Structure 1
Amino acid sequence: MKLCLIPGDGIGREVVPVAAAALQRLLPAVQLQQADAGWECFVRTGQALPDATLARARECGAVLFGAVSSPARKVEGYRSPIVALRRELNAYANLRPTCTLPIAGARQDVDMLIVRENTEDLYIGEEQRDGDTAIAIKRITAAASRRVARAACETLLARGMHRLVIVHKANIMPLTDGLFRDCCREVAQSYPQIEVSELLVDTAAYQLARAPQQFQALVAPNLYGDILSDLAAAHGGGLGLAASLNQGDAGVAIAEPVHGSAPDIAGQGVANPVAALLSVALLLRHTWQRPDEAQRLEHAVRDTLAAGIATPDVAGAAGVSTAAFAQALLARL
């Protein structure tokens, strides 16, 4: 069992080692291999995602990606390495759970999963401008819609859930969003144990903000899934604690904390490793099929937080350092 570690930029270099240490405590035989990517890598080498890093990711079959910085302006030749990595590895399904954590500000009645299509929609980046008019292409395909719907259904059942909501805006975009909705409906017919419903994306956003406890799982096109999963993260304590897993059929999964590189606190030793740790738990559960180890890691995170041990973003002035949190967590493991 191998894991390619790509710390990236900023606090990625501080949280990835904590998650790697926890994984080694759970699976001592795991082989960890370091690789480079990110903005600082681009500045040094001219490549944000070097070919050697991509090759190592494919060889390992699993990646833990820390965080990436982005320039404030367009830089010729630079492309987000995490977006490129997802596409190159065809990690088409992005899993974003929102679960209860014992911290102030987190709801205690939410346990949901948002599955986001990860390869197309407006995020294909095909834009053009003619004077004062700019146009972006929204691409939806039946193949991509069916495969993410299948991933949503399989993951839903693996998590012991049975209700799935298809999110779309087919009343305004009947061809693109209508295709996504119809393909999801078609796939869901093969899973009679799953209760399927649908919501327009604006209604889904309202309901997620108002009463998130009503949802078990949602599946959405790329743009909607991106926005709704960030909204849902507010119920779990915020984006700084949000975990994700990107996976597909190519045999390579990417565990990825949702937070950014946080340059304002990078290097201060106070970065919160919870999102990285929970991303590794997703990898253990859904990619490596090690549910017992995943549960041990999740319980250790919750027990550490419940004991009042948390970094300053959660605990304020009473917060501890990244190293102190890691020490307490590893002791529980």
Structure 2
Amino acid sequence: MEKTIAIIRGDGIGPEIMAQALAVLDVVANKFGHTFRYEEAPMGGNAIDAFGVPLPESSLKTCLASDSALLSAIGGPKWDTIDPAIRPEKGLLALRAGMGLYANLRPSKLIPQLKEASPLRADIVERGIDFMVVRELIGGAYFGEHKTYQRNGEEAASDVMAYSQHEIERIVRVGFDTAMKRSKRLCSVDKANVLDSSKLWRKIVNRIAEEYPEVEVRHMYVDNCSMQIVRDPSQFDVIVTENLFGDILSDEASQITGSIGMIPSSALGEGTRGLYEPIHGSAPDIAGQDLANPIGMILAAAMMLRYSLGMPAEADAIETAVNKTLESGLRTGDIMEPGKTKVGCAAMGQAIAAAV
């Protein structure tokens, strides 16, 4: 098979970890007889420096013309003080909207070799951590009206969290469909005791639940969910929620697995084309020092193969190679533990590629 992949190398450690992911993909292509064509799509701080905007129109066109897109990480202190309208994060929001990517799937799964790295008590970890957060991605407060104004002689601000029926329906169906492929348990997270948008959310979840009689459904307020994730993560299979809540909960869910550097995520829309990335930031403090953990980026590439490119065996090969490499005792600095061998970003990537 021949597939075109848009490559967003990003900022900070982004180019380093992307290089390792592409090296692994090249090995996969050679092993399984595929051809992967990489098309560069600058975005983020580097695009601001080169083009004056965080997402050039040409980059969006490249992503739309590709079979899928692979993103490392964007942003950094260099661009923190520029006009908010053109900060790196605006490029990411525009890319999601431009590609119609409304569903973010972020797994929280403990890799057995790293169970000692989890901040949770051993007895909690032993119960198991393996669930998926399905987050709505292009609605809610992040995409609502933002306004700063004067009120009663002082500065005030407001952000509108708005959702329409169809926006809720489509992400809720992704949640149910995901649950059907797993253990058929869905937890819908809202704040229906306070927010009208959450009351509509809950109403729609209950209606769609009638179409999925095999799925066990429960509702949970977001504050309770944040507590339950650290109290007993084994109770969750699929969590579906709106944009702001999902942003916070998915970061919490990733950290209980031991390292934010290990977790991939996907952003999907109506078709198979998606945007795949690790969940961590650009870590400018360690950029260019061969200290970054490339595993989240490599697993994002595996996720892309599975969900967008229709290559489950190839995805399995990468995931198995990651497990074998960790089993051999290799560790980057963020997941280092006594008795293991510390390696840099390039060496970890090379080891995983060799294991494939």
Flag whether TM exceeds 0.5 (same fold).
yes
Which secondary structure does the structure 1 equivalent of 2:303 belong to? helix
| Cα distance in 2, alignment partners of residues 267 and 142 from structure 1 | 46
Larger Rg: 2
Q: Percent identity?
A: 33
Aligned match of 1:127 in 139, 142, 146? Answer: 146
Deviation track 1:59-97 (CA, whole Å, cap 9, x = no partner) reads: 103100011014222515414222211111110000010
Which secondary structure does the structure 2 equivalent of 1:264 belong to? helix
Residue 27 of structure 2 aligns with which residue?
25
Q: Mapping of 1:94-105 within 5 angstroms? A: 94-101=104-111, 102-103=113-114, 104-105=116-117
Name segments (4+ residues, structure 1) moved above 3 Å. none
Which secondary structure does the structure 1 equivalent of 2:9 belong to? strand
| Cα distance in 1, alignment partners of residues 307 and 203 from structure 2 | 26
- In the alignment, residue 351 of structure 2 is paired with which amino acid? A
Q: Does 1:176 align with 2:197?
A: yes
* TM-score (normalised: structure 2): 0.89
1:133/1:161 Cα in 2 relative to 1: closer, same or farther (>3 Å)?
same
Q: Aligned-pair distance for 1:152?
A: 1.5
Residue 232 of structure 1 aligns with which residue?
253
- Bigger drift between 76-85 and 306-315 goes to 76-85
Residue 321 of structure 2 aligns with which residue?
300
Residue 134 of structure 2 aligns with which residue?
115
Q: Mapping of 1:1-333 within 5 angstroms? A: 1-27=3-29, 28-70=34-76, 71-75=79-83, 77-79=85-87, 80=89, 81-101=91-111, 102-103=113-114, 104-106=116-118, 107=125, 109-131=128-150, 132-158=155-181, 160-173=182-195, 175-315=196-336, 318-333=341-356
| Cα distance in 1, alignment partners of residues 343 and 250 from structure 2 | 28
- In the alignment, residue 225 of structure 2 is paired with which amino acid? A
- In the alignment, residue 20 of structure 1 is paired with which amino acid? L
| Cα distance in 1, alignment partners of residues 267 and 323 from structure 2 | 23
Q: Aligned-pair distance for 1:251?
A: 4.4
Deviation track 1:85-139 (CA, whole Å, cap 9, x = no partner) reads: 1111110000010112112313461110000000111111521122332111111
- In the alignment, residue 98 of structure 1 is paired with which amino acid? S
1:169/1:76 Cα in 2 relative to 1: closer, same or farther (>3 Å)?
closer
- In the alignment, residue 5 of structure 2 is paired with which amino acid? L
- Bigger drift between 312-321 and 217-226 goes to 312-321
- Bigger drift between 196-205 and 245-254 goes to 245-254
Residue-pair matches, total: 331
Which secondary structure does the structure 2 equivalent of 1:170 belong to? coil
| Cα distance in 1, alignment partners of residues 97 and 175 from structure 2 | 19
- In the alignment, residue 13 of structure 2 is paired with which amino acid? I
1:76/1:140 Cα in 2 relative to 1: closer, same or farther (>3 Å)?
closer
| Cα distance in 2, alignment partners of residues 316 and 266 from structure 1 | 22
| Cα distance in 1, alignment partners of residues 226 and 53 from structure 2 | 37
- Bigger drift between 288-297 and 81-90 goes to 288-297
Whether the 8 Å CA contact 1:90–1:250 is kept in 2: the answer is no
| Cα distance in 1, alignment partners of residues 208 and 80 from structure 2 | 41
